[in-house]
Structure 1
């Protein structure tokens, strides 16, 4: 990566965050991730403006105070609807409103939002302006470097220019193009090549704009490399597949003590949340599905996953079921290639 550039703040609110991921980052997942890091910024799954305005708001937007700092990600393209949805979300207590300009799924394209909005920077700017006028919390945008045959230099500059003019508080850039035709959403997370330098060039051109990078970041050590040039790093699937790595976030990136000593302590800490949720009638699997990768690299990790994926899905599964799964894991030092 090129020579380091001036960053807006050594401790930007977006210094380290966990990406919004559909079907993954629900409130149970966020509660679990908060056990592992007190400082990481958490994001909801994307929720559409129509669902926020007309749907079951508590189910869609409800969260625990323990999740702070936490942001809601909205999907939409109509300024007035986004403003209304942002007002509603702010009323729930979110710390940030984020606009999705990066999702490439067919369903999102059919609704004229997500990554296809990279082609309409003026519309994105109007959406940001409407949300900024509606709420007091920060409004951010998560985008790609371009879509399809767009030139990433021109596309990202145009998008950034429009949202900066609208008063955006920060930009999170997934450092890949999205191919709206020919690649599935899953392929769009891996196939288009990463171009981190393009994001750094944007930061150099706009030093006053907080910019975080997303895409292909798998470890806290990799995040630290990006923080030499940018204000923030956002981790996605790695936070889900290897959540124990998040225990290093607070000491390595914020100079704070880790909230738990190790993965075993994380289970005990999360257990209080699990017990409360079970008492409300939630099923154990709804919570433990987010922690299947917690012991990756330790002998017994496969048995842990198997037990939670079988016994843990039963209607009578409880905290004892979780503890029985943990008892199958060796407390010896992890070997990263273990099953």
Structure 2
């Protein structure tokens, strides 16, 4: 049974999931459809995001970059790009495919993203971002949202942030996910940009006070549901990133604590892993690699006896050509039920 407890928190009253009170951040190479399937086993209401997908990949790539499974819903597509026409086409395709939301990345600071003229560098071009938002909103009825930072480089004043919000809000954007750190476009790696610039939650709180009509979600450094509930006392939504990936079992409490479900999801860790077996078999029959699914499950026993042995065995054997359900069963044997 679940060992996590309420920690004295009272669950927030139920709300429409369209308000996106809790979500898992788009993370490149992590939040693919296999990961989202795994997370959906733990929480019905959390909004799940795709990895960032560029407009070029969608419009000119050979693969199907918009594919997702219906059981992943509610799921949002995060787009990378800065050409309004291309973004509008991709947004329309996303709505046709059944996505619940289209989010524009205005927060990633990597060199590759900057070279493509999208991500965090777009904060310096609020009028262009507004054109992109306007073009997308003209094509879809689903929400068009922005995920951004509180600033970039030396442009990190509150006035700079408000100017960005004002400019993009004028064209109809009313839903923002704010990573509460600024980004350094030069000199820091993407990993360092997630850790070195200090968090400034108060700035995001102030933004909500000054723009009460906007839906403001916060992102950055959020590691517990206790912290999430605290943020929701002042904001509309919380987006959790790497902690949700590294310690996914905390998601079993989200529907109760954040969305007001009467009870915590009663599934155990072992049951959760085995509940994925049908998905493994179905996907592998279609050509999927065992490890591509299993890698997202390495953190399921975080903090439990046997967790290290589970991770080690799965990491050492999950890559092998003959890896299958029995490989997972062997890994499970290192963790007491």
Q: Mark yes or no: TM-score above 0.5.
A: yes
2:320 aligned partner:
314
2: CA distance between counterparts of 1:68 and 1:97?
14
* Number of the residue aligned with 1:86: 91
Q: 1:161 aligns with which of 157, 166, 169?
A: 166
Q: TM-score by structure 2 length?
A: 0.93
Structure 1 gap segments, 5+ residues each: 1-8, 332-339
Aligned match for 1:211, one of 199, 203, 216: 216
1:24 aligns with 2:52: no
CA deviation after TM superposition for structure 1 residue 72, in Å: 0.4
1:282 aligns with 2:288: yes
RMSD: 1.3
Q: Which residue of 2 aligns with 1:117?
A: 122
State the match for 1:330 in structure 2: 336
**1:20–1:44 CA contact under 8 A, matched in 2:** yes
Question: 1:101-140: CA deviations, max 9, x gaps?
Answer: 0000000111111000111111111110000001111100
Matched ranges for 1:1-339 at <5 A? 11=16, 13-58=19-64, 60-256=65-261, 257-331=263-337
Equivalent residues of 1:52, 1:88 under 8 A apart: no
Give distance in 2, aligned partners of 1:311 and 1:83.
44
Aligned partners of 2:253 and 2:265 also within 8 Å: no
TM-score by length of 1: 0.92
The number of residues matched between the two structures is 322
Q: Deviations over 1:134-162 (max 9, x none)?
A: 11111000000000001330221111112
User: What is residue 335 of structure 1 aligned with on the other side?
Assistant: none
Unaligned runs of 5+ in 2: 1-13
Q: Distance in 2 between matches of 1:259 and 1:320?
A: 26
- Aligned equivalents of 1:172, 1:317: Cα separation in 2: 39
d(CA) in 1 for partners of 2:173, 2:98? 19
Secondary structure of the 2:249 match is helix
